Amino acid sequence: MAESAQRSYERIYAIVRRIPRGRVATYGQVATLAGLPGHARQVGYALHALSEGSGVPWHRVINAQGRVSPRAAPGWDDVQRQLLEREGVFLGHSGRVSLERYRWNPRTRRISPALAP
């Protein structure tokens, strides 16, 4: 991976680690907070690149419609739903998380690239 992409991924991971239990953020929200506005897909790529046991709570990131995004590997969207429900984040009958209720609202708008790990 190129050094600049690695730095972007680390900024993304730093933001995702800040999402508290019982809250969610959208891919676009994470991208903006990481100083990468308009790069929601890059957040998805970064989360996909995580190794098992990374400690990054990837399951707290959902799409802008409040839904769990489909995964290439079967079953992972169910895992994400179960992890969210264990934290008290429930998907309604429509399969959506209420962003009004569960969206994380950090005090800081974005992380400074200099502060990222």
Give every residue of the chain whose pLDDT is below 50, as ranges.
Answer: 114-117
- Give the model confidence (pLDDT) of 103-112 as tens digits: 999 975 555 5
Residue 95 lies in a domain: yes
Residue 61 lies in a domain: yes
pTM score, whole prediction:
0.86
Q: Kindly state the DSSP code that residue 26 receives in the 8-state scheme.
A: E
- Alpha-carbon distance of 34 to 104, in angstroms, equals 14
- Alpha-carbon distance of 94 to 109, in angstroms, equals 30
Residue 114 lies in a domain: no
Residue 56 lies in a domain: yes
Q: What six digits make up the tokens of 14? A: 């730093």
Question: The domain spanning residue 95 has which CATH number?
Answer: 1.10.10.10
> What's the pLDDT at 9?
95
Residue 107 lies in a domain: no
Number of domains in the chain: 1
